[in-house]
A = this chain, B = another copy of it.
Amino acid sequence: MKEFFPSISPIKFEGSESKNPLSFKYYDAKRVIMGKTMEEHLSFAMAWWHNLCASGVDMFGQGTADKGFGEKQGTMEHAKAKVDAGIEFMQKLGIKYYCFHDTDIVPEDQEDINVTNARLDEITDYILEKTKGTDIKCLWTTCNMFSNPRFMNGAGSSNSADVFCFAAAQAKKGLENAVKLGAKGFVFWGGREGYETLLNTDMKLEEENIATLFTMCRDYGRSIGFKGDFYIEPKPKEPMKHQYDFDAATAIGFLRKYGLDKDFKMNIEANHATLAGHTFQHELRVSAINGMLGSVDANQGDTLLGWDTDQFPTNVYDTTLAMYEILKAGGLSGGLNFDSKNRRPSNTAEDMFYGFIAGMDTFALGLIKAAQIIEDGRIDEFIKERYSSYNSGIGEKIRNRSVTLVECAEYALKMKKPELPESGRQEYLETIVNNIFFNSKL
């Protein structure tokens, strides 16, 4: 069988002192942390699009990386080569999951959706065949309902009922493939579900139609045996001026309004969080306290830039706080999908591996350090103590919602003036994080 990355041996854990760029320094798949192995905690996935398709094209330049894998782009031979290369890539890194859009795995026929669907049947057969006997599985799948010109005004939110039906057709096939491949989840990212200008937009109808599409998908998915989670992946803008799934709070409010909150959860992407003006941790927390933390698109943005850079995560503060939220929430039903791409000038096959090693090691460090924060206990204890006034007396009644405005007011009037609530100690708490980072334990 053809080897696509012949110069790269399987990536092994070599520990923190290794200077071998093609080794893990921190990610040790079988190491047990807080009762689970690293690979159970982290469930890394490869994103088909960035890793096997994207060549470094940006709005001002052509591709710099060759993703032909020896075949002509736009053919089924190329599609299959990507499967083969992807499996080799995952196996060399020890990655067990993959994620894809339908149009990542086959070339879309521009004239007839039935042709595309036949190709999808062929390639999913091929994927099943090639992954058989391996431990590689589908984490989640989704449909690309934003690139084709027909979706220029949206998919579920399109002003064209015909286009809405094409979105439905893609979603139906996508759900069937999710079941066929045993996917744990099915994602909706509404890249064109939004508007360019309110001057031409019926926002109410668009929102209702999106809800209708989601409801139909939920019902159909359940009818064919899809037992996984549906996910919304919030993003505030880009490519549209405004996208409806602006952030987790907005998407959760939408799901509740339309009775979809039992079947849908959030797929939180780090870079989308910052584009919405939030931290990654914030979006995870909002999802978690609403019982809707599902899966994660693991990447990192640049908060000084206003677009989705989808960089490989290398900031350990961010991954530590993310893993802290995930551990506190009892883990993810989904996993950590590297919706990350190499920077355009990082255009070699080695860079593909460097990117994943960077991301996997950074999340492994995040897991190690988050577990240490929890085991250290100072931060959790501080929080517990900070709200202790709600554990008894008037506070307990407030917490239990068994008090009236009059009762609370009388309590205050009698007191005349309260003590100041104690210091928030932000600087001290940030110091603890650094102390745990720079202890000698890994």
Contacts and interface: CB of A to CB of B under 8 A. Distances in A.
A25 interface: yes
A253 B290 CA distance: 11
Nearest to A362: B434
A135 to B, nearest CB: 26
Contact of A307 (B150, B163, B306, B409): B306
Count copies of this chain in the complex.
4
Contact of A205 (B250, B308, B399): B399
A423 B205 contact: no
A49 to B, nearest CB: 11
Interface string A224-255: 00000000000011110110001101101110
A131 interface: no
Contacts of A398: 161, 164, 209, 212
B149 A424 contact: no
A237 B277 contact: yes
Contact of A303 (B150, B303, B308, B424): B303
A4 interface: no
Contacts of A426: 196-197, 199-200, 343, 345-346
Interface in A344-402: 344-348, 350-351, 354-355, 357-358, 361-362, 365, 378-379, 382-383, 386-387, 389-390, 393-395, 398-399, 401
A428 to B, nearest CB: 4
B354 A428 contact: yes
A302 to B, nearest CB: 6
Contacts of A429: 197, 199-200
A7 interface: no
